[in-house]
Structure 1
Amino acid sequence: MSAIKGRGAVSGAVSARFNLPTREQDGDWLDSVETIDGAVRAPATTVTEEHPRSILSFNQSPDIPFDRSVNAYRGCEHGCIYCYARPSHAWHDLSPGLDFETRLFAKPDAARLLRETMAKRGYRPAPIAMGTNTDPYQPIEVRYRITRQVLELCLETRHPVTVTTKSDRVLRDLDLLEELARRRLTCVGISVTSLDPHLSRLLEPRAASPAKRIAALGTLVRAGVPAHVSIAPVIPSITDSFLEGILSAASEQGVRAATWIMIRLPHEVAPLFREWLDTHFPDRSGKVMATIQSMRGGRDNDPEFFTRMKPNGVWADLFRRRFRVAAHRLGITGPDEELDCTVFRRPSLDGQLSLL
């Protein structure tokens, strides 16, 4: 496989999980391309507007600290090769590889649908998580502003909301985030995987540079917005050497909370990640996968509840110890911001707040 400039995946093959046909590299994902002097360089980005009947997704997973989320977009132009959300594109008969980062879906009705849900008499507020599937501040947010509309609604209704992103575009909504933070209604996590801009371009080609993300954390902290750095994912022998450096850089910006997550490779992500390793790091691809498997019970991925977010074994213990020691030295703790669910004001469907 050959690297494609500006893209994370190096192929567009579709999994057979849903009995879908396999697409080869010269298949239909190249029906729209960016060209230079007539030569194919990379698939172009397209956006399809999607109009679902509901926008708030609920879960009962024991492994994540929230029970509801809003995903404004499907697919993500950031192109992070390790993204665990890639397999969701297979439901659309699209490739979890290149299609995931080039064939995007936007949900312009998100705020209206969320308003309708909040207006229901039986609705009970709890923090809404944004950025748990695909990034709410990927490049097309500049055009659609769906994330901003959702934040505006949360501020209007005094509803708690959390944001996770890899982009400094989050600062475009600093005015809203400041107001939400004053009312203990929000916190922001920014994911940083390395401090090397070259490595970042290979891993997450259209995400903000590590320096911009670190700087954005500082801006949020100085504005009074609770912010934490998420070292996610940690990739053995690729990014783990930056663990202490990321914590230190975040600490210098005033960040006092951090988390880390070991790489997960569900479904089609595993073969895509293997292709990426063989393309960019052929000298260590075997070592990387062997280390990952040693933490996942001999498999590329552990899909089981209760254990999928908790790698085990010697390597996992080492990473935990390194994180704990560095965080303690820098005075960094885990995110413990308690958001206020008691001030929620149910909206009416005409956009006016209820008097009751």
Structure 2
Amino acid sequence: MCTQYIEYKPRRVLNVYKHCDGAWFWNRYSANPYVGCEYGCEYCYFRAKRYFRFDWDFSEVIKVKVNAPILLRKELSKVKKDITMLGFYQPVEVKYRLIRSMLEVCAELGFPVHMNEKSDLILRDLDVLKEINERSWACVTFSIITKRKSLRIWEPKAPSVEKRFEAMKEISGAGITTGTALIPVLPFIYDDDENIEEIVRETAESGGKYVIGGSLTLGSPLTEHYLSILRENWPDLVEPTVKLFSSWKKGREKADYPKVGDVPDPAYQAKLGRKVKEICERYGLSDRIERPLHIYPPEIRSNKAVANYLFERTYRLELEGAPPHKIWAYRKAAWTIDEMEISLKNLLDERGFDGLLSLPNVGKKIAKEILQVLKEVD
């Protein structure tokens, strides 16, 4: 079936999130001029109803927000400057040029931009990305999960991995931060050391600065779709996949065919994260994207530095398999500090250690760590 494109004019285009995507992509906002994706990757989370609530296949019918650049200018003018995730390039972007127009809006208004892409079409707009990077910050992350031939089963219409790495080289050469999102790592298929190392090595050779790894996320009807592909191509992996997404839930292992959850066993996720980190270190890469502090007003940069530490601590605790309550303590503290409008340093000067303790979600232990980070920032 040929992809059908339908033009329409929505009332809004900017998604404003309650919290920034700490320790991952760092964006507070996102905007996409297209609803759906022609590439139709078989593992895509958009196949799950909780992300795509329409009654058509997201890869067969694409809705085009023809007024997206106009809306973006209007909506960005009403919010504080912060990182905006734009995308995703569709083949028809050659005709509509909506993403380019949206990038031009961000450049004019001084908004930093993060792109997460599979398409090398992004190179057409490299001039605008360079302008954004000069005025604030630009980052391009390429979604790449393997170089193996079997990828075509999962990504039948997406641009080749070779084209993505070639684009990464050009973007890196332009002085723009770039790297790889090894997301989703498909369990038992692409989670082996050899595959991960190949992606990390190629990223390093292409000028990338990081590789962030993340596990597969399911959800009906994606779950049924994903398992059907396994049955056809990797039938021996159906049972271990079902167990990975099911049996870690208390009581589910007693069922003859346990209900498959949306995420794999946390222990598996932690092991995967540690593996990506270890391999990245061998090649001098980071397993996190460095948040740009210079894009924020000088008076709150120390706040952001502390929040960065707390977000990073949260992620590392997840990899260590720490108790959920401890992980959430750091995450909530990170949100508190990240969203403060007054300077942490001023608060400390005026009220001392008690000032830190007066903040929501900040106890004595975390307050002491904040104090130490502030000293290091100085």
For 2:215, which of 262, 279, 293 is the aligned residue? Answer: 262
Matching residue within 84, 93, 99 for 1:141: 93
Alpha carbons of structure 1 residues 142 and 229: separation in structure 2 relative to 1, 3 Å: same
**Which position in structure 1 is the counterpart of 2:29?**
68
Find 2:178's aligned residue among 206, 223, 227.
Answer: 227
Question: CA separation of 1:342/1:48 partners in 2, compared to 1, >3 Å: closer, same or farther?
Answer: farther
Percent sequence identity over aligned pairs: 30
For 1:236 and 1:227, how far apart are their aligned partners in 2?
25
Whether the aligned pair in 1 keeps the contact of 2:81 and 2:110 (CA below 8 Å) is no
Structure 1 residues 84 and 160, CA gap change in structure 2 (3 angstroms) = same
Letter in 1 for 2:261: N
Matched, 1:107 2:65: yes
Aligned to 1:215: 166
CA distance in 2, matches of 1:284, 1:213: 29
Task: Note the C-alpha offset of 1:159.
Answer: 1.2
1:262-281 alignment to 2 at 5 Å?
Answer: 262-281=215-234
Partner of 2:235: 282
- The letter for the 2-side match of 1:80 is C
Mean alpha-carbon deviation: is it higher for 333-342 or for 163-172? Answer: 333-342
Asked if 1:251 corresponds to 2:197, the answer is: no
Cα distance in structure 2, aligned partners of 1:126 and 1:84: 25
What is the distance in 1 between the residues matched to 2:124 and 2:151? 22
**Distance in 2, Cα, partners of 1:130 & 1:204:** 21
| Structure 1 residue aligned with 2:86 | 130
CA distance in 2 between partners of 1:61 and 1:155 (Å):
23
**Is the counterpart of residue 335 in structure 1 residue 289 in structure 2?**
yes
Q: Please identify, of 244-253 and 56-65, the stretch whose mean Cα deviation from structure 2 is larger.
A: 56-65
Cα contact 1:75–1:89 (8 A) shared by 2: no
- Structure 2 CA distance for partners of 1:93 and 1:126, relative to 1, 3 Å: same
Structure 2 match to 1:84: 45
Structure 2 vs 1, CA of residues 301 and 146 (structure 1 numbering), >3 Å: closer, same or farther? farther
| Matched-pair contact (CA < 8 Å) for 2:33–2:65 | yes
Q: How has the CA–CA distance of structure 1 residues 296 and 186 changed in structure 2, closer, same or farther, with 3 Å as cutoff?
A: farther
Supply the distance in 2 between the matched residues of 1:76 and 1:167 (Cα, whole angstroms): 12
CA gap of 1:116–1:61, structure 2 versus 1, over 3 A, is closer
Greater share of helix: 2
CA distance in 2, matches of 1:283, 1:165: 32
Higher relative contact order (CA 8 A, sep 6+): 1
1:44 aligns with 2:2: yes
- Secondary structure of residue in 2 paired with 1:147: helix
Displacement after TM superposition at 1:311 (Å): 5.3
Q: C-alpha deviations, 1:249-278, integer Å up to 9, x for none? A: 101112121201100002321111112222
Max radius of gyration: which structure?
2
CA deviation map 1:75-119 (0-9, x unaligned):
11111111112226863322xxxx211111111111101111233
Residue 340 to residue 119, structure 1, CA distance change in 2 (3 Å) = same
Structure 2 portions without partners, runs of 5+: 253-258, 299-378
Contact 2:20 2:28 in 1 (8 A): no
Q: Secondary structure at the match of 1:126?
A: coil
- Report the 3-state secondary structure (helix = DSSP H, G, I; strand = E; otherwise coil) of the residue aligned with 1:101: coil
| 1:294 Cα deviation after fit | 5.3
Distance 1:91 1:324, change over 3 A: closer
- Give the TM-score taking structure 1 as reference length: 0.73
Q: 1:324 to 1:177 in 2, by over 3 A?
A: same
TM-score of the two chains, using structure 2 as the length reference: 0.69
Between stretches 286-295 and 270-279, larger displacement belongs to 286-295
AA aligned to 2:82 is A
Partner of 1:300: 260
Deviations 1:29-58 (A, max 9, x none): xxxxxxxxxxxxxx1110011211111112
Give, as a single letter, the amino acid of the residue that structure 2 aligns with 1:336: E
Q: CA deviation at 1:232?
A: 0.6
Aligned residue in 1 for 2:107: 155
| Residue correspondence of structure 1 range 237-248 to structure 2 within 5 A | 237-241=188-192, 242-248=195-201
Amino acid in the other structure paired with 2:108: E
Structure-2 change in CA distance of 1:293 and 1:158 (3 Å): same
* Match of residue 4 from structure 1: none
| Cα contact 1:159–1:341 (8 A) shared by 2 | no
Q: 1:295, 1:79 → 2: CA distance?
A: 30
Q: Conserved in 1, the CA contact under 8 Å of 2:3 and 2:61?
A: yes
Q: 1:295 to 1:187 in 2, by over 3 A?
A: farther
2:155 is aligned with 1:204? yes
Q: Residue 59 of structure 2: SS of its match in structure 1?
A: helix
Consecutive unaligned residues of structure 1, counting only runs of 5 or more, are 1-42, 303-307, 344-356
What SS class does the counterpart of residue 154 from structure 1 fall into?
helix
Distance 1:294 1:264 in 2: 16
Equivalent residue number for residue 182 of structure 1: 134
Q: Is the 8 A contact 2:110 2:136 kept in 1?
A: no
1:312 corresponding residue in structure 2: 266
